[in-house]
């Protein structure tokens, strides 16, 4: 990608938690950036995550103090991991003889809405970054965090530094956004789960977005959404391989012939799934809509929804749906308070299963290949894996299964669709 653009073009490079996980890694990253700067790439902006494990440590501290921590305090605490790495990276660049300046989001003006823990970026003020570039200084920006108009610190959701980087690339008019991580790129499945995973060299935004949204952790879904909206190419590469090593380029492949695309490009796994079931609800659309409106009002995302009758000719139904594990309690509380208000005579009966996982197969070729669902179900069934819920779109099939079988399900589906 570097060979396709002028050296004066802005470039955003993001380094994830493992890439800045130790001081020696930070120094190695600084050496790479210094090398590129000295070659003439003078408009690099660096975005960094917290050192590996740090955000988890901060989340645990908050939960120890208060599992229902108010959103502002939560975000202020968990955003602090990036403050350390941004300063260390600027210091390491200075040790390489470069001028670098560390920035937190409020210093730059990375403005977000006020939905704490899942804030969305509204705008980025480029003044200070442009001043840096004009003065030969490399700006180093804290990922994951933003600030509201009222100067409250917000965070963009776990893994959100990717989104900070792509948003900055768009604001800067960069040639591309480079996501430097601990694997060579986006693979057909998480290489830690499926040994034979294959690197996908060129990926359309559409497939990348579906894979990211369905649990492939390597890219934050909202960074792909932004990349697609503003046509910003995203390069995913390994921090510690040479610059010409294999990698993934996520870009617009609209001219790519779907007929020739494989039915399935990737298999994804999401273990952050809770299945909630409301038992014995009357068949009444108003009740169902009331329950889901109450859940939506507290900001919980509901994923797969199914309903079934406990027995033939039953007058009631069971209504099952999934949320992330962290949000299941909030969803149940919202539904229960709606129900208690509407039907005080009978308590809402609820069951929750936390031992769920969602395995999905994704590919634009599904549009023109039939039989993908049938093969998915028969492969899982032959491996003795029960499917509890299913959801489909034009380019994906997702199955909710018991989390004990999660890795095996990925291996089985990868073998049948990608390795064959």
User: Which residues of the shown chain bind Mg ion in the complex (CB under 5 A)?
Assistant: 16, 159
Instruction: Please choose which of ligand ASP, ligand ADP, Mg ion, none residue 158 contacts, taking the beta carbon within 5 to 8 angstroms, the exact cut-off set by kind.
Output: ligand ASP
Instruction: Please choose which of Mg ion, ligand ASP, ligand ADP, none residue 190 contacts, taking the beta carbon within 5 to 8 angstroms, the exact cut-off set by kind.
Output: ligand ADP
Signed CA dihedral, 74, 76, 77, 79: sign only = positive
- Binding mask 3-42 toward ligand ADP (x if CB under 6 A, else -) reads -------------xxxx-----------------------
Which range, of 130-138, 154-162, 202-210, 232-240, touches ligand ASP by CB under 6 A? 154-162
Q: What angle do CA 18, 19, 23 make, to 5 degrees?
A: 95
- Binding mask 12-31 toward ligand ASP (x if CB under 6 A, else -) reads ----xx--------------
Residue 259 Cβ vs ligand ASP, minimum distance, rounded to whole Å: 36
Separation of alpha carbons 103 and 91, rounded Å: 12
Closer Cβ to ligand ASP, 75 or 204, answer by number: 75
Q: What is the DSSP string of 261-294?
A: S-S--EEEEEEEEEEEEEEEEES-HHHHHHHHHH
Buried b (16+ CB within 10 A) or exposed e, 201-217: eebbbbbbbbbbbbbbe
Number of residues that bind ligand ASP (CB under 6 A): 12
Residues 258-277 contacting ligand ADP, CB under 6 A: 266
Residue 143 Cβ vs ligand ADP, minimum distance, rounded to whole Å: 9
Given candidates 15, 41, 74, 144, which one binds ligand ASP under the rule CB under 6 A?
144
- Binding mask 40-59 toward ligand ADP (x if CB under 6 A, else -) reads ---------x----------
Question: Which residues, 6+ apart, have CB-to-CB distance to 212 below 8 Å?
Answer: 218, 219, 220, 221, 223, 224
Instruction: Please choose which of Mg ion, ligand ADP, ligand ASP, none residue 146 contacts, taking the beta carbon within 5 to 8 angstroms, the exact cut-off set by kind.
Output: none
Residue 377 Cβ vs ligand ASP, minimum distance, rounded to whole Å: 34
Closer Cβ to ligand ADP, 137 or 232, answer by number: 232
Residue 140 Cβ vs ligand ASP, minimum distance, rounded to whole Å: 15
409 binds ligand ADP (CB under 6 A): no
DSSP 3-state assignment of 242? coil
Cβ atoms 232, 225 nearer than 8 A: no
Separation of alpha carbons 207 and 214, rounded Å: 11
Residue 394 Cβ vs ligand ASP, minimum distance, rounded to whole Å: 29
160 binds ligand ASP (CB under 6 A): yes
217 binds ligand ADP (CB under 6 A): yes
Distances (CA, A) of 238 to 48, 93, 246, 247, 410: 15, 20, 9, 7, 23
Max intra-chain CA distance, the chain = 78
Residues 163-192 contacting ligand ADP, CB under 6 A: 181-183, 186-187, 189-192
How many C-beta atoms surround the C-beta of residue 183 within 10 A?
18
Separation of alpha carbons 224 and 221, rounded Å: 5
Phi, psi (deg, nearest 5) at residue 354: -95, -15
Closer Cβ to ligand ASP, 79 or 138, answer by number: 79
Which residue is it, tokens 């950036």?
33
| DSSP single-letter state for residue 256 | S
Given candidates 159, 233, 320, 365, which one binds ligand ASP under the rule CB under 6 A?
159
Share of the chain residues as helix, strand and coil, in percent rounded to the nearest 5: 40, 25, 35
Residues 34-63 contacting ligand ASP, CB under 6 A: 49-50, 55
Q: Would you tell me which residues interact with ligand ASP (CB under 6 A)?
A: 16-17, 49-50, 55, 81, 143-144, 158-161
Q: Would you tell me which residues interact with ligand ADP (CB under 6 A)?
A: 16-19, 49, 159, 181-183, 186-187, 189-192, 216-218, 266
């Amino acid at each position: 990608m570097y060979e396709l653009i002028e050296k004066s073009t802005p470039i955003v490079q993001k380094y994830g938690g493992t890439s800045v996980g130790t001081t020696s890694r930070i120094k190695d990253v600084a050496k790479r950036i210094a090398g590129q700067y000295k070659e003439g790439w003078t408009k690099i902006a660096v975005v960094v995550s917290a050192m590996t494990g740090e955000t988890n440590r901060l989340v645990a501290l908050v939960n120890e103090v208060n599992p229902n921590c108010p959103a502002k305090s939560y975000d202020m605490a968990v955003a602090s991991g990036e403050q350390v790495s941004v300063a260390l990276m600027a210091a390491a660049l200075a040790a390489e003889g470069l001028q670098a300046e560390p920035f937190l989001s409020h210093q730059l003006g990375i403005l977000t809405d006020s939905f704490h823990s899942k804030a969305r970026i509204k705008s980025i003020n480029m003044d200070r970054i442009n001043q840096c570039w004009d003065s030969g200084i490399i700006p180093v920006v804290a990922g994951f965090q933003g600030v509201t108009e009222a100067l409250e610190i917000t965070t963009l959701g776990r893994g959100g530094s990717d989104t900070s980087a792509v948003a900055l690339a768009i604001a800067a008019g960069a040639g591309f956004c480079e996501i430097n991580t601990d694997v060579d790129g986006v693979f057909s499945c998480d290489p830690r789960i499926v040994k034979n995973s294959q690197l996908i060299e060129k990926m359309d935004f559409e497939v990348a977005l579906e894979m990211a949204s369905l649990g492939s952790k390597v890219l934050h879904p909202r960074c792909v959404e932004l990349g697609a909206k503003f046509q910003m190419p995203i390069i995913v590469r390994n921090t510690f391989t040479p610059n010409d090593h294999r990698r993934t380029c996520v870009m617009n492949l609209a001219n790519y012939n779907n007929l020739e695309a494989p039915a399935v490009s990737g298999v994804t796994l999401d273990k952050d799934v809770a299945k909630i079931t409301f038992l014995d609800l009357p068949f009444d659309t108003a009740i169902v809509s009331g329950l889901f409106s109450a859940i939506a009002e507290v900001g919980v995302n509901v994923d797969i929804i199914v309903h079934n009758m406990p027995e033939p000719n039953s007058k009631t139904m069971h209504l099952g749906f999934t949320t992330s594990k962290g949000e299941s309690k909030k969803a149940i509380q919202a539904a229960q308070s709606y129900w208690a208000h509407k039907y005080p005579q009978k308590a809402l009966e609820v069951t929750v299963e936390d031992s769920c996982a969602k395995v999905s197969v994704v590919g634009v070729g599904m549009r023109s290949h039939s039989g993908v669902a049938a093969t998915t179900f028969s492969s899982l069934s032959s491996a003795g894996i029960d499917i509890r819920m299913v959801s489909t779109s034009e380019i994906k099939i997702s199955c909710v299964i018991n989390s004990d079988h999660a890795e095996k399900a990925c291996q089985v589906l990868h073998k049948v669709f990608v390795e064959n």
